[in-house]
Amino acid sequence: GQNIDQPTEMTATEGAIVQINCTYQTSGFNGLFWYQQHAGEAPTFLSYNVLDGLEEKGRFSSFLSRSKGYSYLLLKELQMKDSASYLCAYLLYNFNKFYFGSGTKLNVKP
Amino acid sequence: DVKVTQSSRYLVKRTGEKVFLECVQDMDHENMFWYRQDPGLGLRLIYFSYDVKMKEKGDIPEGYSVSREKKERFSLILESASTNQTSMYLCASSLLSRGGDGELFFGEGSRLTVL
C-alpha cells in the first residue's frame, strides 16, 4: 500500500481480545477505514475514524491518532467467524482515493 | 440493499486476448474504482472515475484502460492480457462526499487467470 503498514498475520484464541495496528504516512488525510475480508470474498466495511479517539461498534472498536499516524482495530470476545483478513485504508480528501494496507490475516483458534 | 455487481466471478483467458471486466452499481454513486488484489501486496488502485466519462489513473494503470459511459457502469479493459495480470479484480463504488465519509462498497470480485 501507499505508506501504510500493518502486521501480516496474527493468531488469537476464541473469546480473547486482539488488537490489530496500522500506521500510515500521508498528507491530505481525510479518514481511516477498516474492512474485513473473508477468504474468497469481497471486503466489507467495519469502521471509520476521522477524528482522534475511539469508535465503538459492538465487539469491534477502532482508534485513531492523527498526530501519530496510527490506528488500531480492537476485536473483543473473539469468535471463530472473525478469522479473516483485516484491511486498513486511508482516504485522500482531494481525490476521493482510498489507499489500502496489505491486510492482517487473523487466525482465531479454539 | 446496496449492490455492486461484477459480471464474471472467474475467467480464464490466453495471453494477448482482449478482456472486459464489467461492473454495475445500483446506488447512484459518483465514484467508481477498479483494484487488483494480490497476495502480500494488498489492494492496488488501477483506475478510478468520479463522474461519467471521467477517469483518473491510479497507482498501476499500465496495461489497463477503463470506460464510464453511464453513471452506473464502470468497465476495466485489458487490451492484450499478459500472465502478470492474473489476479483478483475488485470493483468498488462510493458517494462523492466532502465530509469524508464515503465508504467503499465492493463487488464480489473477478478472478482472472491468464495462461
Instruction: Report pLDDT digits (tens) over B6-51.
Output: 988 999 999 999 999 999 999 888 889 999 999 888 899 999 998 8
Under 8 Å between Cβ of A101 and A4: yes
Is the pLDDT at A86 greater than 90? The verdict is yes
User: Average per-residue pLDDT in chain A?
Assistant: 90
- Residue B2, pLDDT > 70, answer no
CB proximity list for B14: less than 8 A, separation 6 or greater: B81, B114, B115
Residue A100 forms contact with B (CB below 8 Å): yes
Chain-wide mean pLDDT for chain B?
91
pLDDT of A40 reads 85
- Distance between CA atoms of residues B50 and B36, nearest Å: 19
Q: Please, which residues have CB within 8 angstroms of residue A69's CB and are 6 or more apart in sequence? A: A23, A24, A25, A26
Q: CB-based contact (8 Å) between A64 and chain B?
A: no
- Please tell me the predicted confidence (pLDDT) of residue B42: 85
Q: Render the burial of A33-53: b for 16+ CB within 10 Å, e for the rest.
A: bbbbbeeeebbeebbbbbeee
Contacts of A47 in chain B (CB under 8 A): none
Q: What's the average model confidence in pLDDT over A49-71?
A: 93
Phi, psi values for residue A4, rounded to 5°: -140, 125
Residue in B40, B41, B100 nearest the CB of A50:
B100
- Read off the pLDDT of each residue in A47-61 and give the average, rounded to a whole number: 92
pLDDT digits (tens, 9 = 90+) for B41-85: 889 999 999 889 999 999 899 999 999 999 999 999 999 999 999
